Amino acid sequence: MAQKDAYLDHLASVSLFSACSKRELQKIARASDELSVPAGKVLVEQGDTGRECYVLVAGNATVKRNNKKIGTLGPGDCVGELSLLDHGPRTATVVTDTDTNVLVLGSRQFAGVLDEVPTMARKLMAALASRVRELDSKAFG
């Protein structure tokens, strides 16, 4: 458990989890798995159905949408949080640029955390609403 506590800062930097308490972040960390991913590996593929999210702990990755680079990810960044929530298709492809360590949180484990701490769902909905407002403001002024 102590090793997973080291990832709390990474989880707290994820917008979806930013309003969570330390106790809630610990539950998320316990529910996640650590994974080492070699450089050049496709972490998620645009259009594929997703059921998990990844939080980068170490390393970097490139985000591509329709084969065009749209961003770079580093420690503390998250990919796949939308698919974690709705099991919908991935909106981008993410390829690791370096050897990368990630925390993987599957939908079943995430649902278990929400069942255990139902108040966390309100915080997650507020975080999503904030993101929608931010995107709306960017798109429409």
Mean pLDDT by 10 residues, the chain (141 residues): 69 84 90 96 95 93 97 92 87 97 93 88 85 85 79
pLDDT at residue 4, as a whole number: 62
pLDDT at residue 43, as a whole number: 96
pLDDT at residue 36, as a whole number: 97
Q: How many other CB atoms sit within 10 Å of the CB of residue 141?
A: 5
Contacts of 57 (CB under 8 A, 6+ apart): 7, 10, 34, 75, 101, 102, 103
What is the value of pTM for the model shown?
0.84
Q: What domains can you pick out in the chain, each with its CATH number?
A: 2-140 (2.60.120.10)
